[in-house]
């Protein structure tokens, strides 16, 4: 079976092809991605209308690119998957309309996938795929969640951010430091030349006794420290503040992830979403894993941020297990707000 995946929930247009036989772990045939980061940079964040229009421009050329790369003819595609939500409504609609038009033309099933289910499953395309059950740390621009995952569609929310997401904390702090968008990679690069203990920043809810997060206060603390540096902070001061900010975010993520594993009685952690690309987070979790009986699984670096491969993969894993029920009439909707834990083992009704 060959599954085409389309991701268009925010500022990345992703298209990919995966293949699988029986219950074998699906394999990636090809994927192509266009990031809109350059287009949105001038505005300091994603402009939804510009995002939608750009997805329209990019989708079909990217589709042709992956078909050529994989040397697969369009009529060999057996099923088409798209990101149904959560995300920007207009951007999601572009992927949904494209997927359903292709499905209707080819008479193939079309499957609406939950974006976070895609992130969650993405390590299955790595050289070191996890086994169920595991705890997932989902850390993206819009979400910070700890989830117990017992199988495809079997998700239990253990804790989440009560305000900003970890990615948002990176992005907003980066903005305070005068760095571009998206802020996570830029802040992390600046932090590499700084001292993580230079500024005392809060670790919100670190000892709250539950698995929730709160990052909104951090950006205010970063702003306050930045203001104290005066009008012309040195490069070293900025690097120190970046390193201290990154350490504060990562400390909380690591602490709560280890606690979630302990509480759930599990030894496997899957880290997914854009912040999962963060080198400090990875090294801290790897160091913890080396010290105790636990394994950490990550997606391949190229599949950490949004991409079509994870959408094709999640659909393929549902199809393998009989958990996808595509509508027969190619009627579709999108779900800009959609909680992962409401995605049942049976596919969601559109």
Binding site for ligand KG4 (CB under 6 A): 10, 140-142, 167, 170-171, 182-185, 188, 273-275, 277-278, 305-306
- At a CB cut-off of 8 Å and minimum separation 6, what does 284 contact? 250, 254
- The CB-of-308 to ligand KG4 minimum distance in angstroms stands at 13
Q: How many whole angstroms separate alpha carbon 242 and alpha carbon 228?
A: 15
- The CB-of-166 to ligand KG4 minimum distance in angstroms stands at 7
- When asked if residue 140 is in the footprint of Zn ion (CB under 5 A), the reply is yes
Query: How many residues comprise the chain?
Result: 350
3-state class (DSSP) for residue 268:
strand
Q: How many whole angstroms separate alpha carbon 91 and alpha carbon 152?
A: 26
Helices 235-264 and 279-291: crossing angle, nearest 10°? 40
Binders of Zn ion among residues 294 to 313 (CB under 5 A) are 306
- Select 84 or 108, whichever has its Cβ closest to ligand KG4: 84
Q: How many whole angstroms separate alpha carbon 65 and alpha carbon 52?
A: 20
- The CB-of-184 to ligand KG4 minimum distance in angstroms stands at 2
- Select 142 or 233, whichever has its Cβ closest to ligand KG4: 142
- The CB-of-61 to ligand KG4 minimum distance in angstroms stands at 21
User: Taking CB within 5 to 8 Å according to partner kind, which of ligand KG4, Zn ion, none is near residue 185?
Assistant: ligand KG4
- When asked if residue 12 is in the footprint of Zn ion (CB under 5 A), the reply is no
Binders of Zn ion among residues 154 to 193 (CB under 5 A) are none
Q: Is the dihedral of CA 46, 49, 52, 56 positive or negative?
A: negative
- The CB-of-79 to Zn ion minimum distance in angstroms stands at 22
Full 3-state SS string of 153-175: CEEEEEEEECCCCHHHHHHHHHH
Given its phi and psi angles, is residue 93 left (phi above 0), alpha (psi -120 to 50 degrees) or beta?
alpha
- The CB-of-168 to ligand KG4 minimum distance in angstroms stands at 6
- Select 79 or 136, whichever has its Cβ closest to ligand KG4: 136
- The CB-of-142 to ligand KG4 minimum distance in angstroms stands at 5
User: Taking CB within 5 to 8 Å according to partner kind, which of ligand KG4, Zn ion, none is near residue 278?
Assistant: ligand KG4
Q: Under a CB-based contact definition with an 8 Å cutoff, are residues 51 and 91 in contact?
A: yes
> 240 is written with which tokens?
């120190």
User: Taking CB within 5 to 8 Å according to partner kind, which of ligand KG4, Zn ion, none is near residue 275?
Assistant: ligand KG4
> 231 is written with which tokens?
């009008």
Residue owning tokens 């589709």? 63
- Select 217 or 327, whichever has its Cβ closest to ligand KG4: 217
User: Taking CB within 5 to 8 Å according to partner kind, which of Zn ion, ligand KG4, none is near residue 100?
Assistant: none
Residue 346, CA atoms < 13 Å, CB-side half-sphere: 2
Give the C-alpha distances (Å, rounded to integers) separating 115 from 286, 331, 336.
Answer: 26, 20, 10
- Select 240 or 306, whichever has its Cβ closest to Zn ion: 306
Stretch that binds Zn ion, among 77-85, 140-148, 260-268, 320-328 (CB under 5 A): 140-148
The residue at minimum Cβ distance from Zn ion is 140
- Select 12 or 108, whichever has its Cβ closest to ligand KG4: 12
> 201 is written with which tokens?
């920043």
- Select 44 or 322, whichever has its Cβ closest to ligand KG4: 44
Contact residues for Zn ion (CB under 5 A)?
140, 306
């Amino acid at each position: 079976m060959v599954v085409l995946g389309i991701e268009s929930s925010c500022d990345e247009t992703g298209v990919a092809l995966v293949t699988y036989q029986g219950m074998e772990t699906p394999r990636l045939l090809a994927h192509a991605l266009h990031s809109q980061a350059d287009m949105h940079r001038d505005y300091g964040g994603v402009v939804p209308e510009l995002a939608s229009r750009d997805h329209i421009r990019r989708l079909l050329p990217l589709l042709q690119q992956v078909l050529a790369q994989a040397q697969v003819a369009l009529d060999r595609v057996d099923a088409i998957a798209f990101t149904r939500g959560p995300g920007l409504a207009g951007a999601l609609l572009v992927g949904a309309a494209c997927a359903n038009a292709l499905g209707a033309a080819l008479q193939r099933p079309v499957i609406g996938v939950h974006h976070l289910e895609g992130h969650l499953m993405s390590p299955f395309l790595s050289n070191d795929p996890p086994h169920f059950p595991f705890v997932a740390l989902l850390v993206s621009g819009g979400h910070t969640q700890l989830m117990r995952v017992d199988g495809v569609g079997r998700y239990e929310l253990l804790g989440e951010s009560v305000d900003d997401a970890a990615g948002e904390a990176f992005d907003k702090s980066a903005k305070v430091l005068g760095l571009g968008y998206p802020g996570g990679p830029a802040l992390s690069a600046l932090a590499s030349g700084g001292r993580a203990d230079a500024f005392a920043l809060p670790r919100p809810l670190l000892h709250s006794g539950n698995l929730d997060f709160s990052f909104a206060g951090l950006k205010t603390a970063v702003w306050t420290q930045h203001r104290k540096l005066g009008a012309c902070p040195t490069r070293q001061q900025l690097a120190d503040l970046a390193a201290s900010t990154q350490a504060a975010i990562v400390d909380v993520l690591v602490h709560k992830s280890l606690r979630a594993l302990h509480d759930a009685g599990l030894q496997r952690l899957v880290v997914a979403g854009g912040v999962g690309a963060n080198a400090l987070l990875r090294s801290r979790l790897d160091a913890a894993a080396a010290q105790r009986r636990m394994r950490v699984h990550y997606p391949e670096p190229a599949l950490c941020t949004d991409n079509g491969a994870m959408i094709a993969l999640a659909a393929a894993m549902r199809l393998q297990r009989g958990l996808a029920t595509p509508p027969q009439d190619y009627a579709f909707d999108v779900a800009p707000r959609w909680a992962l834990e409401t995605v049942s083992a049976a596919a969601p009704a559109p």
